Amino acid sequence: MVRTIRQHGAAPGDLELVRSFINTARLEGGVELLREPDDLAAWLRGHGLLAAGVVVADDDLEVAIAVRESLRDLAGVHGGHEMPPASSAKLDAVVSACGLRPRFEAGGALSLAPELDGVAGALGRMLGIVVASAGHDDWARMKTCRNPHCRWAFYDSTRNRSAVWCDMASCGNRAKARRYYEKQRLGSGTAGA
């Protein structure tokens, strides 16, 4: 079952691009939006990250999916999950490969931008958004659903940053129901002993 309505809204500014990228895989429903290199090319072009005519190869798709899942792991840290060392290493490698560096733009704005174009540049652009938002409260509010089968990325807009489910009506209620039934089962099993 693929849900289309979520409790939490969009992330602010460019961080929404990162949240959208992470959610190109819907783990709970087994839906992968980036099945082929052309799917990745279309997604990146649709979000203004890839120029027309740039060819996306199988290797590019493989790297993009690895970056996406590493970003999912990174956002999961804010929900209490551990960051796998392999995910940290993958993100470090991509940042290094794309030449992410500070750029001073017209008007005095500062950004982190990749030196490369193409898919590497697009991935570097998203990683630059993450690094830039880490200095603000925004990145700390990017989380993944605590349901291990879901792990949908969401922006926690609650006042106290206490959200742990992508949607309380589905993932949250299922978790509560599981805990309740487990508690009942354990309580029933020990009562007759």
CATH of the domain at 141: 1.10.3300
**Partners of 103 in the β-ladder:** 111
Which residue from 94, 92, 93, 111 is spatially nearest to 103, judged by alpha carbons? 111
Expressed in percent and rounded to 5, the helix, strand and coil fractions of the chain are 55, 10, 40
Residue 5, domain member (yes or no): no
Residues 6+ apart with CB under 8 A from 3: 28, 29, 167, 170
Q: What is the dihedral of CA 35, 16, 126, 88, to 10 degrees?
A: -80
Locate all alpha helices (DSSP H) within 77-172, ordered by sequence. 85-98, 118-134, 137-140
Look at residue 122 and tell me if it is in a domain: yes
pLDDT of residue 1: 41
Q: Does the residue 1 lie in any domain?
A: no
Domain membership flag for residue 2:
no
* Residue 10 lies inside a defined structural domain of this protein: no
Q: Is residue 68 part of a domain?
A: yes
- List of the chain residues with pLDDT < 50: 1-5, 180, 192-193
Tokens 């938002």 identify what position? 133
Residue 47, token pair as written in the block: 């979000």
- The total domain count for the chain is 1
Which residue segment(s) compose the domain that 149 sits in?
15-191
Provide the pairing of β-strand 101-104 with 110-113: antiparallel
Convert the pLDDT of each residue in 22-52 to its tens digit.
999 988 888 999 999 999 999 999 999 999 9
